[in-house]
């Protein structure tokens, strides 16, 4: 799949991570074309969420996680476009700017004012410590562990809260199914990320054989972006619904594609009962 490209616009990469996609193959202005393009998935889902809030005339703090999702897309795109150290740092920072507000919101839901205050202080301190240590010491492991822990806590807490907040059995099952799909999407994205890392040589040779445009589908880090964007959007949307008390029977139908289709597919019994 290697093409002849003139001198890279951004110069030599300075980031300490470089993924399996070949650099500057499509254009001298974009280091990793598919990884950059796929980062727009986060932006699209974030914008969709903001539009939904605007239609409900709901702004303020509820828009922060969706803005965080957009921020992840912008920073990820900037990183893969340039492969510079400072854009890598912004990409990794944006991941915590998304998970920290979500974690705060789900942990403090229906909590006492005292606990809410403590959670705000603790999460702010942890966020500051993680990012300062990460940027000053180039400590990637701390970033990865803290991000993974935040995702795990958000998942556990959200799945635990859903049964107590949704009394209607059918609606509760639908929301649980969508939330589970979000978890599965994130896990699958992580798996393809691992394959992209561990089987890079095989992927590169296969891309050479199949050629463009089929080779684009074997850029697995790009698929990591797509599936984690779906999982991230589901987390933001479900947490917003259950903490705002706006869960209704048709709530999933208003979520972004493919969630309405997923909900119908995962609940064939519910659909059958409706037809009767």
Residues contacting 125, CB < 8 A, separation 6+ = none
Rounded CA gap, 214 and 223, in Å? Answer: 14
Rounded CA gap, 21 and 28, in Å? Answer: 14
Q: Using alpha carbons only, give the angle 100, 39, 192 rounded to the nearest 5 degrees.
A: 85
CB contact at 8 A, 220 and 192: yes
80 is in an annotated binding site: yes
221 is in an annotated binding site: yes
CB contact at 8 A, 77 and 66: no
**Torsion 177-178-180-181 (CA) sign:** positive
225 is in an annotated binding site: yes
134 is in an annotated binding site: no
CB contact at 8 A, 69 and 46: yes
Closest to 104 measured CA to CA, from 127, 135, 79: 127
Beta bridge partners, 30, equal 27
208 is in an annotated binding site: no
Which positions make up the binding site for Ca(2+)? 21, 32
Which positions make up the binding site for Zn(2+)? 80, 221, 225
Which positions make up the binding site? 21, 32, 80, 221, 225
């Amino acid at each position: 799949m290697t093409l002849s490209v003139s001198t890279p616009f951004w110069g030599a990469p300075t980031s300490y991570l470089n993924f399996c996609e070949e650099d500057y193959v499509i254009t001298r202005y974009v280091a990793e074309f598919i990884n950059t393009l796929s980062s727009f998935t986060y932006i699209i889902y974030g914008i969709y969420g903001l539009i939904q809030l605007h239609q409900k005339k709901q702004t303020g703090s509820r828009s922060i996680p969706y803005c965080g999702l957009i921020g992840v897309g912008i920073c990820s795109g900037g990183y893969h476009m340039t492969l510079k150290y400072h854009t890598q740092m912004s990409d990794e920072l944006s991941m915590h700017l998304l998970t920290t507000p979500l974690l705060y919101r789900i942990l403090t839901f229906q909590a006492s004012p005292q606990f809410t205050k403590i959670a705000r202080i603790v999460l702010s301190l942890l966020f500051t410590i993680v990012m300062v240590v990460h940027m000053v010491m180039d400590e990637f492991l701390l970033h990865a562990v803290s991000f993974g822990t935040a995702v795990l806590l958000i998942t556990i807490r959200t799945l635990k809260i859903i049964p107590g907040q949704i009394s209607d059995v059918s609606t509760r099952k639908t929301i649980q199914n969508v939330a589970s799909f979000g978890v599965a999407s994130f896990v699958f994205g992580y798996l393809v990320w691992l394959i992209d890392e561990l089987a890079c040589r095989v992927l590169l040779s296969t891309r050479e054989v199949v050629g463009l445009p089929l080779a684009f589908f074997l850029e697995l880090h790009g698929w990591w972006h797509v599936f984690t964007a779906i999982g991230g959007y589901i987390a933001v949307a479900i947490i917003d619904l259950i903490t705002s008390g706006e869960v209704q029977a048709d709530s999933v139908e208003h979520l972004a594609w493919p969630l309405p289709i997923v909900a119908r597919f995962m609940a064939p019994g519910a659909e059958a009962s409706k037809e009767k």
